[in-house]
Amino acid sequence: MEAMHPTTVCGGVNIDICGKSFDPLIPVDSNPGTVRLSLGGVGRNIAHNLRLLGEPVSMLTALGGDLYAKRVQEHCQSIGIDLSHARHVPEAATSTYVFLAGPDGDMAMAVCDAEIANAITPAYLATQLPLLNQSPVVVLETNLPSQSIRYLAEHCTAPLFADPVSVTKAEKLRGVLGQLHTLKPNKLEAELLSGVPITDDESLERAARALLSTGLRRVFISLGAEGLYCAEGAQRFLCPCPETNLVNATGGGDALMAGLVKGWLLGLSLEDTARLALACSAIAVEGAQTINSQLSLSAAAARAEIAISI
Q: Give the CA count within 13 Å in the CB-facing half-sphere of 225.
A: 5
Phi-psi region of 67 (alpha: psi -120 to 50; beta: other; left: phi over 0): alpha
pTM of the predicted protein model: 0.94
Percent of the chain scored above 90 by pLDDT? 88
What angle do helix axes 187-194 and 201-212 make, rounded to 10 degrees?
60
For 133-156, what is the mean pLDDT? 98
CA separation for the pair 299, 292 (Å, rounded): 12
Specify the range with the lowest mean pLDDT, choosing from 1-5, 97-101, 246-250: 1-5
State the pLDDT confidence band at 3, using cuts at 50, 70 and 90: very low
Q: What domains can be seen in the chain, in order of their start residue? A: 1-23+34-136 (3.40.1190.20)
- Compute φ and ψ for 51, nearest 5 degrees: -65, -40
pLDDT in tens, 118-131: 999 999 999 999 99
**pLDDT above 70 for 201:** yes
DSSP 8-state code for residue 186 = B
Angle formed at CA 67 by CA 63 and CA 71, multiple of 5 degrees = 75
* CA-closest candidate to residue 48, choices 220, 228, 224, 296: 296
Non-local CB neighbours of 105 within 8 Å, separated by 6+ positions? 20
**pLDDT above 50 for 238:** yes
For 17-39, what is the mean pLDDT? 94
Contact 245, 228 (CB under 8 A): no
CA separation for the pair 197, 120 (Å, rounded): 33
